[in-house]
Structure 1
């Protein structure tokens, strides 16, 4: 294996560790369609891999368009024994979640279903900006 390949592998490994170290612990719920209008984009459709951010994260529309990678870490109630499906989902901030706690994200129903069983309703997550 060449020196350049080894260096590239090392850089990727360090980047992964840094992103894990910067992950924010929180909780996620989901909301259902229709996703328009949104605080950020009005009636412009931004797809279904979207999120409404808590007021702190939303920062008066400062977070509009930011992308986050979200991973389910566990369930929060006894509804579903093992709600996490593994993997991550990448979402774009399109709206404010006025009722969300400071560590909470409100994912679209489709984004939530990518990482967890929607029957759980609320999950523990890790997320970071990408």
Structure 2
């Protein structure tokens, strides 16, 4: 490998690591319908993504409602039993605040309450809570 290629390779590796370091870690649980985005969009259910990849934010990332519409890349890191789908990352849209959900998360105090579709996309069993890595996009 020539010196310029080696430098470019090292810089690419550095930027990849820097990019990965911007992610936060937390926990996620699932929640069931009814899916009503009232905290963010009132009764406008059209704001729920058609692919059903959405979430409700905990107070920690709610930011007094500023998180409405924000999108996050989410990846399962671990759980009590090996349930994470390795290498799977999904993008979810915040449509609600978890403390105000009609159907509470299956585990309280989590960073995000994921729709059933989103939660199932990250796990391969009936786990109630998972450890996640998430990053705003």
1:59 matches 2:60? no
Is the 8 Å Cα contact of residues 60 and 111 (structure 2) preserved in structure 1? no
Is the 8 Å Cα contact of residues 112 and 118 (structure 1) preserved in structure 2? no
Select which of 112, 122, 126 maps to 1:115: 122
Shift of 1:20: 1.1
Aligned Cα RMSD in Å?
A: 2.3
Shift of 1:25: 1.1
Unpaired runs of 5+ residues, structure 2, are: none
Q: 1:91 to 1:11 in 2, by over 3 A?
A: farther
Is the 8 Å Cα contact of residues 19 and 128 (structure 1) preserved in structure 2? no
Is the 8 Å Cα contact of residues 61 and 111 (structure 2) preserved in structure 1? no
Aligned residue number for residue 85 of structure 1? 85
How many residues are treated as equivalent by the alignment? 120
**Larger displacement relative to structure 2 (81-90 or 66-75):** 81-90
Shift of 1:11: 7.9
Shift of 1:117: 2.8
Structure with higher Rg: it is: 2
Q: Per-residue CA shift, 1:43-98, capped at 9, x if unaligned? A: 223121111011121111111111000000111x3xxx320012111001111012
Unpaired runs of 5+ residues, structure 1, are: none
Is the 8 Å Cα contact of residues 76 and 131 (structure 2) preserved in structure 1? yes
Shift of 1:34: 2.0
Q: 1:10 to 1:62 in 2, by over 3 A?
A: farther
Is the 8 Å Cα contact of residues 77 and 132 (structure 2) preserved in structure 1? yes
